[in-house]
Structure 1
Amino acid sequence: MLGGGVGREMPLVVKKARAASLWDMNDKEYIDCTSQAWSVNVGHCHPAVMAAVSEQLQNFTHIRTSFDTVPKLLLAKKLSELGPGRLKKVAYSLTGSDANEGAMKLAMRNRPGDMFVALWDGYYGRTLATLNMSWPHPNNRFSAWGGPKIRVPQAYCYRCPFGLSHPSCALECVRFAKESILKNAAEPPVALMMEPIQGSGGMIDFPADYYPAMRKMCDELGMLLIWDEIQTGFGRVGDWFAANIYNTTPDIMIIGKGLGGGFPMFGILAREDLKSFEPGDHSFTFAHFPVSMAAARASIQVIEEENLLERSRRIGKLFSDALNAMKDKYELIGDVRGPGLMIGIELVKNKVTKEPAREEAHAFVNEGLKRGVIFGESKYLRLGNVVKIKPPLVISEAQVERVLEVFEEITRSLTT
């Protein structure tokens, strides 16, 4: 294989996947706590999604973007209904990277200039423009290529870059961000681009008052606010979008992963009063793939009919409560964070110094596989010490108990 994937190869060959489980060539079952890059929120091969795809395959598989199709219009209608606030305009993509680039283009259609603002530890994709916006990986020579940007620290309260504590800090990170932008930009930047919860950067969520404060800063400086909700959307955080949880609506929002029910489906939601793309601005041959659109509509219907938003909150609380109890018992567990089923556990060698336990996080993945559980690992950037638990929203309570049992077994083995 030519390679180019993110992260190392997993030492198993997948034969079958259903709901929250995978099976290898030896028919060994694994509980999938990664939803395969956080993408199969309704579970692997959900019958309703498979039926919708099968039906669409009988009609047509490809129509170029110049044409409207029934799947395209029906999905756009549903997404505009789900979009928070005034996010009623819809555009489609097949990857998160091109959706993020599309959001940048759309922002430049609506604001002068070409400078953007990004947060430390952000991640937006692997194309040249999105790598440029993402926090630079030391081993990636492509990260330095791209347009002008300003990077500002985020509200990473567990490791505050200012050495302060929330809420007594009075959101020093927001004040610093505003000052940095004013000093480094001759004119207002086009937009601030951020994830409401940083996934690849370490499962970093922010205090509730940070979101409206950043919204206010963008408004005061005349910038647009772009949220990348590719990982947080469609039930992952216990609501349709993180914007609903944090009562903050961006001007442009990128969606995907859990939307497609296991099929490639990404998109952009934008404020209804923003200028739209001009013809040719952002179009790809298979961008309006009707099979993925049928899968996406079915996936949304499953989330609604099976009440998976509430289930994400409830099952997420089971995980978080148990993991926080373990945090009180084990020196290795420094922090447990994230709403719903978007959970990150930061491992440290010492709770006082907070020295990152990178080797231990790496060991979690290997030891989990031996025990039939697939954990995620944050290997991006400088830390690489966060274990991720982001299973399909349909994971059973029996599987939750097994995952927690395995997690504690591994934690105990790494601390003795």
Structure 2
Amino acid sequence: MHPTYIGPDKVLEKRKQYFFPCTHHFYQDPPQIVQGSMHKLIDHTGKEYTDFFAGVSVVACGHCNEHITTKTIEQLTKLQHTTTIYLTEPMVELAERLANDYLPGELKRTFFCNSGSEANEGALLLARLHTKRKDFLALEYGLHGRTFLTMGVTGMPMWRTDDYLDPHVTFIPRPYDEEMDTEDAAHRSIAALRQVLAEKGDTFAAMIVEPIQGNGGIIVPPDWYLREVKALLSEYGVLLIADEIQTGFGRTGRMFAMDHYEIAPDIITMAKALGNGVPIGAFATTDAIAASFNRPSASTFGGNPVSAATAMAVLDYIEQEQLVARSAELGGQLKDGLRALQVKHSVIADVRGKGLMVGAELNTGEASLNAALTDRVLESMKHRGYLIGKNGVGRNVLAFQPPLIMPEDEIQTMLSVLDEVLSEAVYTDEERGSKDGRDS
């Protein structure tokens, strides 16, 4: 161990002593991560890991990418912070570039903040201000944040921490059910939405959706689904908020996931990959809707010069390296490889996703073992030098959301290692009958 690193045991000890008990971590034997470089992370012993999770879709351009960090450091040496009450150039340049080059449809005006939760909170507030309505619609098992309104529209039970959330939220079934055909599940969702709107459509300010549910298990709706949602909402004057916190900036093989469905939302939210690890969030809308947000507001750190300059460098790098097209190409290879493993390993129940946002759902046939098997696979992959995420309602979906700069040969090598791990990780009959065989 490097003499300047205290090591995982001490880190865990200090977390236990000084953190809130709500803070958890991956792995029974977690490493202390001390360094990153593009698609690699390094622990306190010098061991390298290939990162297939990217901090949950954050470092899309790679860890400590020198083309980006150089611009960050350059801005740090000139002007670090002022806040929005003073005039600075980076934030207006970023807003102009988003409007002219990337935002879908007629979306033009941007409000900068610091995180995805803040972006979604602001979007929900904007919808209320514009429509003069109180209620919201959301999909079951979506995740939109950990602030008051965003937790209220979050449909994942494990993330609805507050027992006194905003009651003005109606959830409808998401366009997925493991017991149903995808098309049938999507039609069921539309029917539920149609019924709710017929009953009280004039009470809803907006519906918030992830174009692809992330923490819900990498759930991809049929291509027609969101177009139908938008059409129904428009009949009742209800706004559509697209939560692109995880899916934005090339993750799914398009700049924004909504581009797959050929519709523009009324409001779009962004964060994560836009800063490549430097905190930044934003929500954007049209001239007409933005005009309703005219009461005084601000964000102390939102759009600060460092975050804005970093985001500009991120956009430069995405364009220069053609990362959107690269995500589509590599994502296809990753899905093909996982589907080949699905044929070999019956424990892989489903492979789904777009671009480099791919999920492989594990199913042992016994629901009580699925999450434990997923942890077992993650632990074994970590031992072999690969970091993979997990999500899903049952925490049994392997989540592959790597940096978009991941080398093609690393994907093939990871698949080979995963093949070995799956062969070893499946529970034996003896373990199935004993709690001693289950990972925590």
Scaled to the shorter chain, the TM-score interval is over 0.9
Matches within 5 A, 1:6-405: 7-9=24-26, 11-81=30-100, 82-138=102-158, 141-142=161-162, 144-160=164-180, 165-167=181-183, 171-183=187-199, 185=200, 187-276=202-291, 277-281=293-297, 283-350=298-365, 357-378=370-391, 382-405=393-416
Residues 207 and 238, structure 2, Cα contact 8 Å, conserved in 1: yes
Residues 186 and 323 (structure 1), Cα distance of their counterparts in 2 relative to 1, 3 Å cut: closer
Find runs of 4+ consecutive structure 1 residues off by over 6 angstroms: 353-356
Choose 1 or 2 for highest CA Rg.
2
Q: Which residue of 2 aligns with 1:407?
A: 418
Residues 195 and 304 (structure 1), Cα distance of their counterparts in 2 relative to 1, 3 Å cut: same
Instruction: Write the distance in 2 (CA, Å) between the matches of 1:357 and 1:136.
Output: 18
Residues 170 and 18 (structure 1), Cα distance of their counterparts in 2 relative to 1, 3 Å cut: closer
State the Cα distance separating 1:273 from its structure 2 match. Answer: 2.1
Q: Which of the two has greater helix per residue? A: 2
Instruction: Write the distance in 2 (CA, Å) between the matches of 1:187 and 1:208.
Output: 27
Residues 48 and 21 (structure 1), Cα distance of their counterparts in 2 relative to 1, 3 Å cut: same
Residues 254 and 268, structure 1, Cα contact 8 Å, conserved in 2: yes
Residues 80 and 88, structure 1, Cα contact 8 Å, conserved in 2: yes
State the Cα distance separating 1:284 from its structure 2 match. Answer: 2.3
State the Cα distance separating 1:320 from its structure 2 match. Answer: 0.5
State the Cα distance separating 1:56 from its structure 2 match. Answer: 0.7
Residues 356 and 383, structure 1, Cα contact 8 Å, conserved in 2: no
Residues 132 and 143, structure 1, Cα contact 8 Å, conserved in 2: no
Task: Describe the superposition over 1:207-231 as per-residue Cα deviations: whole angstroms up to 9, x where unpaired.
Answer: 1111101111111122000010010
The code of the aligned residue for 1:385 comes to N
Question: Could you state the TM-score of these two structures normalised by the residue count of structure 1?
Answer: 0.93
State the Cα distance separating 1:175 from its structure 2 match. Answer: 1.4
Residues 128 and 143, structure 1, Cα contact 8 Å, conserved in 2: no
Task: Describe the superposition over 1:230-267 as per-residue Cα deviations: whole angstroms up to 9, x where unpaired.
Answer: 10011100111011111121100001101112211110
SS of residue in 1 equivalent to 2:64: coil
State the Cα distance separating 1:36 from its structure 2 match. Answer: 1.1
Residues 137 and 143, structure 1, Cα contact 8 Å, conserved in 2: no
The code of the aligned residue for 2:355 comes to G
Most deviating of 264-273 and 102-111? 264-273
Question: Could you state the TM-score of these two structures normalised by the residue count of structure 2?
Answer: 0.88
State the Cα distance separating 1:132 from its structure 2 match. Answer: 1.1
Instruction: Write the distance in 2 (CA, Å) between the matches of 1:53 and 1:139.
Output: 33
Instruction: Write the distance in 2 (CA, Å) between the matches of 1:149 and 1:135.
Output: 10
Instruction: Write the distance in 1 (CA, Å) between the matches of 2:388 and 2:68.
Output: 25
Residues 6 and 340 (structure 1), Cα distance of their counterparts in 2 relative to 1, 3 Å cut: farther
RMSD: 2.0
**Gaps (5+ residues) in structure 2?**
1-17, 429-440
Q: Which residue of 1 aligns with 2:19?
A: 2
Residues 170 and 337 (structure 1), Cα distance of their counterparts in 2 relative to 1, 3 Å cut: closer
The code of the aligned residue for 1:93 comes to C
The code of the aligned residue for 2:380 comes to E
Task: Describe the superposition over 1:178-201 as per-residue Cα deviations: whole angstroms up to 9, x where unpaired.
Answer: 203433x37330000110000011
State the Cα distance separating 1:64 from its structure 2 match. Answer: 1.4
The code of the aligned residue for 1:343 comes to V
SS of residue in 2 equivalent to 1:190: strand
State the Cα distance separating 1:27 from its structure 2 match. Answer: 0.5
